[in-house]
A and B are shown apart, each in its own frame.
Chain A
Amino acid sequence: MSEPLLSIRGLRAKVDGEDGEILRGVDLDVQRGEVHALMGPNGSGKSTLAKVIAGHPAYEVTAGEILFEGEDVLELEPDERSRAGIFLAFQYPAEIPGVSIANFLRTAVNSRLGEGEEMDVFGFQRTLTEKMEMLRMDPGFAARYVNDGFSGGEKKRNEILQMAVLRPALGVLDETDSGLDIDALKVVASGVNRLSEADEALGVLLITHYKRILNYIRPDRVHVMMAGRIAESGGASLADKLEAEGYDWLHRAVAAV
C-alpha cells in the first residue's frame, strides 16, 4: 500500500489538434489522506492539469503518465475515471437545463452500482438531504436544474455537494473557493474537512489563488505551477510566502534555469 493515490510523471499535454504544449512535464504525487494545494499564475496550466486528470477529450497527452491507485488511467474514458474514484470540482461547471440536481445525482450514484442495481430512492433522498444540510443548502435546491441560473457561489457549493454524495477517493477542486463569500467559504471548507474525517484516505488536490482557504483546509504540501511545470513545492508556509511576495521571485528563478 505504499503506492501513491495519484502519481503523475513527466506529463505533457496540448489542445487536441493544436501545436503549443500547455503542460510541459508535470511531476506530482499525492498520497492517500493528503491535501495538496496547487497555486500559480493565471494561464499557467492548473485547470488543464485538472481536466487532463479527469480525462477531458479536448486535450491530447503527448508524453508521461497518470497513475491512479497504481493504474494507468490515460486510456480510460472520463466516466470510467469517475467511477474509479476521481472527482473534479469544475472551475466553470456546465449548465444542464431541464435536469434536476436530484435526478442527476441519482443517475450518477446508480452508475457506480453493478448492472441492474439501483440505490433505493429513500436511501438516496436521505443521503442527499443530509449532505445538503451539511453544506447549508436550501432543500428546494435539489429540484433545481443543474447549474441553470445558479450564482457563482451556488455553483461552487453544488460541486462540493456532488463530491459529498459521490464519495470519491480523490477530489480535484479547481478554484472552488473563488466567488464564495466568507461564510460560504467556511461552510464549503468545513464540508471538505468533514469528508476527510469520514474517509481518512481521501486525497485532495486543491487549486487556488488565495491563502484564505488554506487557513481552513490545511495543506500537507503546496505546489506552484509556472508555464506548465511544477516550479516549486514546499510546506504550508510556501503559501504565506506567495501571498506576501507574489510570483515574481519564482518567475526570475524559472527564467534563470
Chain B
Amino acid sequence: MPRNETITELGLDEYKYGFVTEDKPVFKAVPGLSSDIVRQISHHKEEPDWMLEFRLKALEVYYSKPMPKWGGDLSKLEDTLDEIYFYLKPQDQMERSWDDVPQEIKDTFEKLGIPEAERKALAGVGAQYESEMVYHSLKEQWEEQGVIFESIEDGLARHPDLFRQYFSTVVPTHDNKFAALNSAVWSGGSFVYIPKGVKVEIPLQAYFRVNAERMGQFERTLIICEEGAEAHYIEGCTAPVYSTDSFHSGVIEIVVKKGARFRYTTIQNWSNNMYNLVTQRALVHEEAKMEWLDGNLGSKLTMKYPSCYLVGERAHGEILSIAYAGDGQHQDTGGKVIHAAPNTTSQITSKSISKGLGRSSYRGLCKVYDGAEGAKSNVECDALLLDETSRTDTYPYIEIDENTASIGHEATVSKVGDEQLFYLMSRGLDEAEAMAMIVRGFIEPVAKELPLEYAIELNRLIELEMEGSVG
C-alpha cells in the first residue's frame, strides 16, 4: 500500500518518537520540589534578586492552591511531582550557530525527522533541547529591524527593563496552580519582541523536546508584539516514550498592541504518560488580531485552553484547535475569549478526534463584560469518534453581562460512518487509508491554516497514532 510505503521510507514507524539520546546534563537537580531547588535554579541562571523573590513567592502561591477538581484526573499527579526533576541544564552555553550544535543533539533532530518542517527554516529557529535553548540563530535582517528572538534567560539578562515591564503581566502567578508552579521553577522558552510596525515574514520557530526521564518541562515564553507589528511564531515538540509519568507545564504570555497581528502555532505530540497542563494567554489591544492555532496529540492528560483577552476596541481573537485522543488519553482542550471592550470579535473552532478508550473534551469560556457593546463571538466545536468505545463531551461556559452582544455556539458529534468507509473502500482504499482520509478531511478546515510542511506533519502524526486502530 502506497501510504505505508511512504511511512516506512521516511522511517516514521511507531517508535520513532520514543528513542532516547544518552543524556549528559551539566547540572541536574535532585527530584522533588523545595525552596532550595528554586534557589538553585535562580542561582544557576545568575538571575537578579527580583526574579528569585518572584519565584519564591510563586512557590508559596503554588503550595497554597488546591489541585483543580475539574478537567481531567489529576489524582496521581502529586506523586508524579515528588519524583520529577525540576531543572536540567544540558549545556553551559548558548550555541551561536548550527555548526556549534553538538552532534548528539543534531542526531536527535535527525531522528525526529525535522527536515520538512523545521531544519529547512533553521535560519530563523530557536530550538529548545531539554530545559535550555541550545541552538539559536536569527536572520540578520530581523536583528537590523530590532526583532528580538532569544531564549527567555537571555531575554531577562540582556533586556532586563523590557522583560520586567511585561513578565507575568498576562498570566499572573496566582492565576492558577500550574501557572504558580511554572512561575517558581520556569526554565527555557523564548523571549520575542517585535518592534512597532515591523512585519516578520518568515515564521519564528522553536522546536523542542523533553529528553530526560521524569524531567519536568516548565517552559516560559514571553512575546511582545508592538503597535502595527506582525509575526507568526511556531512551536512544535515531540517527547519520547517513558514508563514513568512525566509532566509539562508551560506558560505562554503574549501582548499584542494596537493594530498588531500575531499568530502562535503549536503542534504538540507528547508521550502517553505525560501530564500536559499549559497556560497560554494573549492580551489583545485595540484593533489588534491574535490567533492561536493549537494541535494536541499524545500525552496522558492535556488541559489547555488558549485565551484571548480582548481589551481594546475592535480587537479580534481566534482560536483554532485540533485534539487527538487515542487509547488512555484525555484531551481536555478548548479556548477562552474574554470580551472587555466594545465591538470586539472572536471565533473558536475546535476539532477533536477520539479513538479506542480515548476521550476528548471541549471546554470553552466566552465572557462578555458589561459595556463591551456589539461584541460578537462564535464557537464551533466538532467531535469525531472513530469507534464505539471512544468518548467526547462539551463544556461550554458562557457569561454575558452585555445585552448588545451576539454569541453563537454550534457543536456536532459524528462517528465515522460505515457508509463513508464503504464508499472510500469501494474505490480501492484499504480500511486504514479510508479512515485516515475521513480524519484528514475532518481536520482540513484547521490544517489548511497551517504552513504546508506543518499540515503534512500533523496529518502524518495523526496517521501514526491511528495505525492499529483498524483491522
Contact = CB atoms under 8 A, between A and B. Distances in A.
Interface in B388-446: 417-420, 422-431, 433-434, 437-438, 440-445
Interface in A169-203: none
A246 B142 CA distance: 79
A131 interface: no
Nearest to B427: A108
Contacts of B438: 96, 99
A111 B418 contact: no
B26 interface: no
Interface in B135-177: none
A116 interface: yes
Contacts of A82: 425-428
Nearest to B446: A98
Contacts of A94: 417, 419-420, 422-423
Contacts of A113: 2
A58 interface: yes
B441 A77 contact: no
For chain A, the bracket of interface size reads 35 or more
A164 to B, nearest CB: 13
B427 A58 contact: no
A7 interface: no
A68 to B, nearest CB: 14
A225 to B, nearest CB: 21
Contact of A77 (B2, B430, B442, B444): B430
B2 A78 contact: no
Contacts of B441: 96-99, 145
Given A88-B426, A96-B420, A116 B442 contact: no
A108 B438 CA distance: 14
Contacts of A115: 1-2, 5
B433 A111 contact: yes
A95 B430 CA distance: 18
Contact of A112 (B423, B424, B428): B428
B437 A104 contact: yes
Contacts of B5: 115-116
Nearest to A119: B2
Contacts of B424: 96, 104
A97 B442 contact: yes
Contacts of B434: 79
A152 B276 CA distance: 47
A110 B427 CA distance: 11
B173 to A, nearest CB: 42
Contacts of B440: 98-99
A234 interface: no
A122 to B, nearest CB: 18
A3 interface: no
A117 interface: yes
A207 interface: no
A108 B429 contact: yes
A41 B445 CA distance: 42
**How would you classify the secondary structure of chain A's contact residues: helix, strand, loop or mixed?**
loop
A121 to B, nearest CB: 14
Nearest to B448: A98
Contacts of B428: 79, 82-83, 108, 111-112, 166
Nearest to A90: B423
A94 B423 CA distance: 6
A108 to B, nearest CB: 4
A57 B418 contact: yes
A162 interface: yes
Contacts of A81: 426
Given A94-B423, A98-B441, A117 B2 contact: yes
A96 B418 contact: no
Nearest to A96: B441
Contact of A96 (B1, B9, B423): B423
Contacts of A166: 427-428
A43 interface: no
A83 to B, nearest CB: 5
Contacts of A145: 441
Contact of A107 (B423, B429, B442, B443): B429
A235 interface: no
Interface in A83-101: 83, 87-88, 90, 93-99
A97 B445 CA distance: 10
A73 B2 CA distance: 23
Contact of B425 (A58, A79, A95, A104): A79
Q: Which of A58, A96, A105 has the most CB of B within 10 A?
A: A96
Contacts of A107: 429, 433, 437
Given A77-B425, A79-B429, A112-B428, 13 more contacts: A55-B425, A57-B422, A79-B430, A90-B423, A96-B438, A98-B442, A98-B445, A107-B437, A108-B429, A110-B2, A111-B427, A115-B5, A145-B441
Interface of A: 51, 54-58, 77-79, 81-83, 87-88, 90, 93-99, 104-105, 107-108, 110-113, 115-118, 145, 162, 166
30 contacts: A55-B426, A57-B422, A58-B418, A78-B422, A78-B425, A79-B427, A79-B428, A79-B434, A82-B427, A82-B428, A83-B428, A87-B426, A94-B419, A96-B423, A96-B441, A97-B441, A98-B445, A99-B438, A107-B433, A107-B437, A108-B429, A110-B2, A111-B427, A111-B428, A111-B429, A116-B2, A116-B5, A117-B2, A162-B427, A166-B428
